[in-house]
Amino acid sequence: MISIAILGFGNIGSGVADVLANNEEKISKIIGDEIRIKYVLDKRDLSDTPYADRAVTDIDVIVNDPDVTVVCEMMGGTQPAYDYSIALLKAGKSVVTSNKEVVARMGDLLLATAREHGVHYLYEASVGGGIPILHALDDSLKSCAISRIDGILNGTTNYILTRMHDCNASFESALSEARKLGYAEANPTADISGADACRKIMILAAVAWGKLVSAEDVPCEGITAITSEDSTFAVSCGGALKLIASAVKTASGIMMTVSPAVVLADNPLYSAKGVFNAVKVRAGDLGDVMFYGMGAGKLPTASAVVSDIIAAINRSDSNGYTFFLPNDESLLSPEETPDAFCLLVQADADILYERIPSLALLNSKDGVHSILCEDMSKKTIYEAFDGLAVLKCLRAIV
């Protein structure tokens, strides 16, 4: 019998208990033993749940119990989640988590502690809900030279932008609808500001390249300033507006950014609508690889936590996912790094081609042109169009 504990019995924590119960026979066959939830730590009254007799409020009860070998942390926030996790790892217990905030801010310290004490720190559920993207980066794509990651990493913002695209809804009405359907929190600031997607791309880049950057170093623009006109512009370019978190590795360094972008219809990210998440990885000789699925939700995220429980029990190494360290280099500026951009420019088309011969003309109406510029920095584009009326400029995902 393998004893585990759950910290935080909200949506995801209770979902972990459900997934373990629903798949008990299959999980037992995989690990060769049974899993028992011995403790549930939560401030809430659990007397009306099947786990009332296992409820505790003191973390030391779990830390000091030698029977508990794996602990699931679904508390959210950095504290007390970080302190609890450190104490558990030092006590020789593996920790699995869905807490993207603590991983993005302190994952390097938690992994170092896990390594020092011969246990695991696993966090698949912290990015993309039930999408197994971290396992893929850590295992299947380990031999590939990953050069770029682009992701739709927040279901709330993707739902809002989908409604703006499909129904010409305003930002305010789409957000209100997302709240009513339970896709947006009462306070959706972390989602619509881009902070949530920023944490997730930080984790993806850390696993891919071994360096955890600081959130303060990642340029982050949310969707609060997006208008229906911006969505219409994306359509005129032959695409759709998405909040895209990107990490790019070049010979000069790493560029990371979160911002609204025009995703052109030929790109597989274009098809990710509603609350779904999608991640596209450029993986060396393998080419582009796409991961798609439910990026949030009780059971999808809980399933990812349970997969980490199984991995913690079955894995013989003690590193967790790929070990990463704090970033010791400056990030490249998105303004100065070559990329793709869609622009709305009012000028004679011949002048546009004179300035940038390689541009692609996507749409024209009354002397206003939607164009695509690839492999150029935003700074270089604006220098080339100096003196012209550039009405809009958004990143493009081609």
- Annotated catalytic sites, by residue? 200
For residue 318, what is the DSSP state?
Answer: S
For residue 138, what is the DSSP state?
Answer: I
Cβ contacts of 165 within 8 Å, gap of 6 or more: 231, 234, 235, 240, 241
CB-CB contact of 130 with 300 (8 Å): yes
CA atoms within 13 A on the CB side of 397: 33
Q: Where do the DSSP E strands lie in 118-238?
A: 121-122, 146-152, 211-212
Residue 97, strand partner residues = 73
For residue 137, what is the DSSP state?
Answer: I
Tokens describing residue 223 = 């969707």
Tokens describing residue 237 = 């370019």
Angle between helices 81-90 and 100-116 (to 10 degrees): 20
Give dist(CA 347, CA 212) in Å, integer: 43
Q: Is 363 exposed, middle or buried (0-12, 13-18, 19+ CB in 10 A)?
A: middle
Give dist(CA 375, CA 321) in Å, integer: 33
Give dist(CA 98, CA 156) in Å, integer: 17
Give dist(CA 73, CA 96) in Å, integer: 6
